[in-house]
Structure 1
Amino acid sequence: MNAKDLTLAYKVRHALDQSADNLPESTAKRLSSARKIALSRKKQESEQLAFAPHMASVGPSHSRHTFHFDNLTIWAGRMGVLIPLVFMVFGLLGLYRYEQREQLIETANIDAEVLTDDLPLSAYLDHGFNAFLANGTDDEN
């Protein structure tokens, strides 16, 4: 409530207090019984709120700074989605780096074999040589 609302509430309460003294006795008794009924209903509602865990933060006796079990379950539910997602992202990044490294090592091995071989580089560019290699491997089996 802001200051303007509080001022209005105090003025209304003051006006009601002043006019309460001028009420007839029968009206005062009816108002008193209505107040007792309202208070008894209010107490029943607040007792029901105390036993309802999902409504624990709604009750008047609870501060908004208190920690409730519901807050923990909401937090755990959110983390239950976020943590596996983070692990999945790091896992995929790790797999990507691993595959890149393996491809780099394989390419380096092929380059090393080509450079240390006795054949000239032009032999690898010849299409007939590729056919010879293909036929040569079939004959060995």
Structure 2
Amino acid sequence: MNDSRPLTTLLDAQALEARFALRVTARLSERASHQPHAIEERLRFARQQALERARARRKPAPVTAPSVQVVGSTLALGGGGPQRSSWWERAMATALPLAVLLGGLALIQWNQTHAEIEAAVQIDAELLVDDLPPTAYSDPGFVEFLRKQQDR
């Protein structure tokens, strides 16, 4: 029931429906007893068929819900029915997610290494294009020169 009304309103509505249904069935039963025998039999037969149809609709279809199963020393999700999987299927069901995980981790590692190499190449290119030779950056006097430049 996907109704946005408050619970008390729904309960009141259900109670009204139940009372109405009782009044209608009582009135129909009262009127049915005053009918000729042939009509009573047809009504009885129609009631029985309606009840059988209602019971058939109420029977829920068998649903196989997923459940957690212990397969050897691992937990696995399975359907509600009997599981007849071979050793190979169970091994693949365990190994495939592990292989995907390891592949993803390897891809992340490769991407990180590639990004570090690109950053180092960028710094090297800027050093080589610069007017100063690379040895100037390791000179202690150059560091002092840079500090004086910042103080100005």
Instruction: Using structure 2 for the length normalisation, give the TM-score.
Output: 0.37
Instruction: Using structure 1 for the length normalisation, give the TM-score.
Output: 0.40
Q: Which has the higher strand share?
A: 2
